[in-house]
Amino acid sequence: MANRFHQLFKTARPLLGMLHLPPLPGSPHYAGKMQDIIDAALHDAQILSEAGFAGLIIENLGDAPYYPDHVPAETVAAMSVVAAHVRQQTKLPVGVNVLRNDAQSAIAIAAAAGLQFTRVNILIGTSVTDQGIISGQAHLVARMRQRLRADNVLIFADIRVKHAAPLVDRELAQEIDDLFERALADAIIVSGTGSGKPVDANFLREVKKFSGDRPVLIGSGLNLENAKELLAVADGAIVGSSIKVEGKIHNRVDRESTQQLLKIRVNRI
């Protein structure tokens, strides 16, 4: 698992930049111009690539309120089109997250567009979320990956994901082992309580301790103030809100903010 992650991202502690998509066709706030969505994604992808980010993640952030498990066909189609355009523009590894928790569609999009990884918010267990109760479907995700001959698509799985609470508390070490060994995750993601909220540093250390050499990523809240401390523990980070214009999640990526974040030098503790 660790080898597959490090083979994909050849830099130490890679930073993965979010491509937060505006509302897609069929969602409540869709503006009716698919080309504008493609242009926004390509704009952000170019800035992140030029700044030196190690990878990109496409996400349907603008589609709130989200379907809990399965998005409709128009969402899959739109995200596949955007993903194909991004894939053609950049040589960086590109991933996809289909909110709220449509991991099967994420695998299908990745396979169709030639992406290298997916993010799955709830891969195992059951969580209470703002979309209701959601249960992980690792068994279906793994079989779809196999069926589509997409074994090269890595799965990054959140542990105790943001905007949610586990239905039942479990021993952390066992939960981590289950994600890696039974659910076949290739990396674990630790986030704060919500989008843009920083992770609990002590919880991050615990997750990394029990994960050993298996990859652990920061999933929210990384910024100029905490990056040095947190990246000394984690194996990389997914960055969204802090690199946006005015630090607002629905804005486009800010060139200066991305460059400042990449200047931080981290020593492993």
CATH code that applies to domain 13-262: 3.20.20.70
For residue 201, give the amino acid letter: A
Q: What is the pLDDT of residue 2?
A: 65
> For 45-49, 116-120, 185-189, 265-269, which range has the lowest pLDDT when averaged over its residues?
265-269
CA distance 13 to 2: 12
Query: What tens digit of pLDDT does each residue of 73-87 get?
Result: 999 999 999 999 999
CA distance 236 to 247: 20
Mean pLDDT of the chain: 94
pTM: 0.94
Residue 38 has pLDDT above 70, yes or no: yes
Contact 56, 45 (CB under 8 A): yes
Comparing C-alpha atoms, which of 238, 245, 204 is closest to residue 221? 238
Share above pLDDT 90 across residues of the chain, in percent, rounded to a whole number: 85
Q: What is the pLDDT of residue 120?
A: 97
Residue 265 has pLDDT above 90, yes or no: no
- Domain assignments of the chain as residue spans, ordered by start: 13-262
Q: Tokens 């952390």 label which residue?
A: 172
State the pLDDT confidence band at 155, using cuts at 50, 70 and 90: very high
Residue 269 has pLDDT above 60, yes or no: no
State the pLDDT confidence band at 268, using cuts at 50, 70 and 90: low
Q: What is the pLDDT of residue 205?
A: 97
136, two tokens: 């992980």
* Residues with Cβ within 8 Å of residue 135, at least 6 apart in sequence: 122, 125, 126, 127
Q: What is the pLDDT of residue 266?
A: 58
Q: What is the pLDDT of residue 267?
A: 55
How many Cβ atoms are within 10 Å of 121's Cβ, its own excluded?
24
> For 39-43, 131-135, 248-252, 265-269, which range has the lowest pLDDT when averaged over its residues?
265-269
Share above pLDDT 70 across residues of the chain, in percent, rounded to a whole number: 97
Q: What is the pLDDT of residue 3?
A: 83
Show the 3-state SS of 96-136.
EECCCCCHHHHHHHHHHHCCCEEEECCCCCEEEECCEEEEC
Q: What is the pLDDT of residue 195?
A: 84
